[in-house]
């Protein structure tokens, strides 16, 4: 820039000290282009050139204004055009031009950037809100690696190899990590990678197979743990914006956006097949590896855990499901305090719904009722065979506490609303008559 100013000063000096201009021959040019029409730059058509007239060398300068919108600019006529200089002036301008040329040659920068200022990027308000939400909540999302022990067939060495991966998020400052149960299933070792790429060994605190929720613990410094703010899922609305953060396909933190497509959906647990009620349906892309990651609302609060997609190919098809945070909160609190979930059970095994439909009846057919279980103690009859091998149907449960039962999902839905120790009135079809039997619910046995 100093050399450029020097050239302009020399040209101005020569302009007022030269009597006339002479158009030279044998022009050598150096061009510089700029996209800024309002700036006076070194001319794109001609900058510096020499001319020889009658064995006398004249050094000339041309500086153009590239503003095409200027009506006074007649065909881009230069401000300083073909100026004859004295030998001293020519030598002075030649030195200045050489200084400019060497500065552009040795300094490895884009010449346009030296003259044109790039305007700052402008984002819309909704874009700024999304960017801020991702930056604020990414430190709370972790990457979980599921390792399994394998023995090499040739060397017989025992190795730990990754057999799966997923996402999770920090629940509290004590190091508790929440994820899906199917992410950690059958793992011999688990590793949790935080947002700063630090990795820690993780221990399983507890899990709930029926609701596909698990809690891990890592011994990480508290300054590395950023818990997510827990929201409420009871007042969600269809059409509300949601944001999913996770590690799909093993990639780094990824954000997908969408809306709530439906509420109070029902899916089956990947581990036990037991139905999960009040599930959130969203069109935010959820791919393999997103499982266990958080689903956030526009304020950045946790409203669900991304758990499943509906797709025959396993890729995102615009239909994803998340376990609502109201369900997750109760499960996590029990797992953190007791290491298990005390969910009530009726203590029976029942037949598939298709088998009952073939019999032409509506309800849940009891296949087995262990004598030490709640139903066995209350006197419910299981299905069995007589001495001749003929099948004798057991009791068919038609209602619980006056609520009609048509299939196994209805039975699970009612039991989820009960507590351990509650007495429920079970109505059964026994033979050709109806009986009502009181049953005291007991806790589910410990799972290993």
Per-10-residue mean pLDDT, the chain, length 448: 47 45 41 41 40 43 45 47 53 69 57 53 85 92 80 57 78 92 86 89 90 92 91 91 84 87 86 83 84 91 86 65 91 88 86 82 89 91 86 90 88 85 91 90 72
Q: How many CB atoms lie within 10 A of CB 444?
A: 16
Known catalytic membership, residue 44: no
Choose, from 14, 89, 90, 182, the residue flagged as catalytic: 182
Residue 129 lies in a domain: no
Q: Are 84 and 10 in a shared domain? A: yes
Q: Is residue 119 part of a domain?
A: no
Q: Using an 8 Å Cβ cutoff, are 429 and 395 in contact?
A: yes
SS3 29: coil
Strands 320-324, 344-345: pairing kind: unpaired
In this prediction, residue 268 carries a pLDDT of: 81
Is 312 part of any domain?
A: yes
Please tell me whether residues 317 and 370 are part of one structural domain: no
> What's the pLDDT at 20?
44
Judge if 106 and 57 occupy the same domain.
yes
Greatest CA separation found in the chain? 132
Q: What is the pLDDT of residue 108?
A: 54
CATH number of the domain to which 389 belongs = 2.30.42.10
pLDDT at 399: 92
Q: 337 lies in a domain? A: no
Give the structural domain span for 175. 134-224
The CATH number of residue 167's host domain is 2.40.10.10
pLDDT the model gives residue 418: 85
Among the options 62, 140, 291, 322, which is catalytic? Answer: 291
Collapsing DSSP to helix, strand or coil, 197 comes out as coil
User: Does residue 6 sit in the same domain as residue 84?
Assistant: yes
pLDDT reported for residue 46: 39
Among 81, 114, 147, identify where a domain stops. Answer: 114
Verify whether residue 291 is a known catalytic residue. Answer: yes
Of 294, 329, 364, which residue is a domain's last?
A: 329
Q: Are residues 348 and 317 in the same domain?
A: no
- Whole-number pLDDT of residue 247: 83
Position 236 in a domain: no
* Residue 235 maps to a domain: no
Give the residue ranges of DSSP H helices in 190-348: 325-338
pTM for the predicted model, two decimal places? 0.63
253 close to 231: Cβ distance less than 8 angstroms: no
Clarify whether residues 218 and 259 are in a common domain. no
Spatial separation of the C-alpha atoms in residues 165 and 159, rounded to whole Å? 17
Number of domains the chain is built from: 4
212 is catalytic: yes
Could you tell me which residues are beta bridge partners of residue 144? 166, 192
Inside any domain, residue 448:
no
Q: What are phi and psi of 249, to 5 degrees?
A: 60, 25
Helices (H), 227-352: 325-338
**Distances, alpha carbon 245 to alpha carbons 140, 274, 290, 413, in Å:** 10, 26, 7, 30
- Number of Cβ within 10 Å of residue 371's Cβ equals 9
275 and 300 both lie in a single domain? yes
Catalytic residue from among 89, 208, 212, 395 = 212
């Amino acid at each position: 820039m100093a050399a450029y100013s020097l050239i302009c000063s020399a040209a101005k000096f020569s302009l007022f000290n030269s009597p006339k201009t002479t158009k030279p021959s044998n022009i050598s040019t150096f061009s510089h282009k700029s996209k800024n029409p309002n700036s006076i730059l070194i001319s794109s058509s001609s900058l510096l050139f020499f001319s020889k007239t009658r064995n006398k060398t004249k050094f000339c300068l041309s500086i153009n204004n590239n503003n095409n919108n200027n009506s006074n600019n007649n065909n881009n006529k230069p401000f300083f055009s073909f100026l004859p200089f004295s030998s001293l002036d020519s030598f002075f301008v030649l030195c200045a031009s050489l200084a400019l040329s060497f500065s552009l040659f040795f300094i490895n920068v884009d010449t346009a950037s030296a003259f044109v200022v790039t305007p700052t990027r402008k984002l819309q308000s909704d874009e700024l809100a999304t960017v801020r939400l991702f930056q604020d909540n990414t430190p709370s999302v972790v990457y979980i690696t599921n390792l399994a022990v394998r023995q090499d067939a040739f060397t017989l060495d025992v190795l730990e190899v990754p057999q799966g991966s997923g996402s999770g998020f920090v629940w509290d400052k004590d190091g508790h990590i929440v994820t899906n149960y199917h992410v950690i299933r059958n793992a011999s070792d688990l590793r949790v990678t935080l947002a700063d790429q630090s990795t820690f060994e993780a221990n399983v605190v507890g899990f709930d197979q029926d609701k596909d929720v698990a809690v891990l613990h890592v011994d990480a410094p508290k300054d590395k743990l950023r818990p997510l703010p827990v929201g409420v899922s009871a007042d969600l609305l269809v059409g509300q914006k949601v944001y999913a953060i996770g590690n799909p396909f093993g990639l780094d933190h990824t954000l997908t956006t969408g809306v709530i497509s439906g509420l109070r959906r029902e899916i089956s647990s990947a581990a036990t097949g037991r139905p999960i009620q009040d599930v959130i349906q969203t069109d935010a892309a959820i791919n393999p590896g997103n499982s266990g990651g958080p689903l956030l609302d526009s304020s950045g609060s946790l409203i669900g855990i991304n758990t499943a997609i509906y797709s025959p190919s396993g890729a995102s098809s615009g239909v994803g499901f998340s376990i609502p945070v109201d369900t997750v909160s109760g499960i996590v609190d029990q797992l953190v305090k007791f290491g298990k979930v005390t969910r009530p059970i009726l203590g029976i095994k029942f037949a598939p719904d298709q088998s009952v439909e073939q019999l032409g009846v509506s309800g849940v057919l009891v296949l087995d009722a262990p004598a030490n279980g709640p139903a066995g103690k209350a006197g419910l009859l299981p299905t069995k065979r007589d001495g001749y091998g003929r099948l004798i149907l057991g009791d068919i449960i038609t209602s619980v506490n006056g609520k009609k039962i048509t299939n196994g999902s209805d039975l699970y839905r009612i039991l989820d609303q009960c507590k351990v120790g509650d007495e429920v009135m079970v109505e059964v079809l026994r033979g050709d008559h109806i009986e009502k039997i009181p049953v005291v619910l007991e806790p589910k046995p410990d799972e290993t």
